[in-house]
Chains A and B, each alone.
Chain A
Amino acid sequence: QTVVTQEPPFSVSPGGTVTLTCGLSSGSVSADYYPSWYRQTPGQAPRTLIYRTNTRSSGVPDRFSGSILGNKAALTITGAQADDESDYYCVLYMGSGSWVFGGGTKVTVL
């Protein structure tokens, strides 16, 4: 069974840079998995940040960027702000009409 891995809870200082990653329990993540990223605050629906590895969704500020770093997909937040405190999820398209989400990473800004 495929497991998509994300970091445990993470802290970043205001104005700092944080990079979250999205890996596979077996194998490497490439653009062929069409990695996408979402943020979610408690009680709210997820919001799309990045799709197709590095394309920002409409209205997403350019301090959010996506990439492939080594064998993982990555989401980088540059100049972290207090309202960036969220849970961040990645999801990979596994082919044949199926997707697998990572377990999410809780980011705290303090």
Chain B
Amino acid sequence: EVQLVESGGGLIQPGGSLRLSCAASGFTVSSNYMSWVRQAPGKGLEWVSVIFIVGNTYYADSVKGRFTVSRDNSKNTLYLQMNSLRVEDTAVYYCASTRDYAFDLWGQGTLVTVSS
């Protein structure tokens, strides 16, 4: 079965760091564009970051300089390193494979809560 499974969310204080993981099965992370999309409680979807097949990375302005997307090909896993976390980063974070400029396969999401 083709699926993405996120993990690593939790409660973190403002200014802290957290690393999210997205484990893929049934397809190869390194052969796909892979994105992170988040959704604050009761709000809409927000694109966060993408990593291209060749390794280029891009970020939304709201997270640029604080978040880093990466992948481990040997583990077939996508990561999102989140530093200097803010209250407004509180959200469910989804990873998604990205094909034809769209997000086609989504994980179930992992909740990050930034609060003191």
Interface residues of A (CB under 8 A from B): 34, 36, 38, 40, 45-48, 51-52, 55, 57, 87, 89, 91, 93, 96-104
A98, B102: Cα distance in complex, Å? 11
A100, B104: Cα distance in complex, Å? 16
Contact A38 B44, CB 8 Å, known A46-B94, A97-B50, A97-B52: no
A82, B14: Cα distance in complex, Å? 42
A28, B89: Cα distance in complex, Å? 31
Q: List 21 A-B contacts (CB under 8 A).
A: A34-B101, A36-B101, A36-B103, A38-B45, A38-B103, A45-B109, A46-B103, A48-B103, A51-B99, A55-B100, A87-B44, A89-B44, A89-B45, A97-B56, A97-B58, A99-B35, A99-B47, A99-B50, A99-B101, A101-B46, A104-B45
Interface 0/1 of B38-57, CB less than 8 Å to A: 00000011110010100011
Contact of B58 among A98, A101, A103 (CB under 8 A): A98
A57, B103: Cα distance in complex, Å? 10
Interface residues of B (CB under 8 A from A): 35, 37, 44-47, 50, 52, 56-58, 60, 94, 99-104, 106-109
A45-B94, A47-B106 known; 4 new pairs, CB 8 Å cut-off, are: A96-B58, A97-B58, A99-B35, A104-B45
Interface of B is mostly: strand
CB <8 Å contact, A52 and B44: no
A45, B4: Cα distance in complex, Å? 11
Looking at the assembled complex, report how far the CB atom of B80 sits from the nearest CB atom of chain A, in whole angstroms.
Answer: 15
Chain A residues whose CB sits within 8 angstroms of the CB of B107 once the complex forms:
45
Contact A93 B101, CB 8 Å, known A45-B94, A45-B108, A100-B47: yes
Chain A residues whose CB sits within 8 angstroms of the CB of B103 once the complex forms:
36, 38, 46, 48, 91
Chain A residues whose CB sits within 8 angstroms of the CB of B100 once the complex forms:
34, 51-52, 55
Chain A residues whose CB sits within 8 angstroms of the CB of B102 once the complex forms:
34, 36, 48, 51-52, 91
Give the nearest-CB partner of A94 in chain B: B47
CB <8 Å contact, A98 and B60: yes
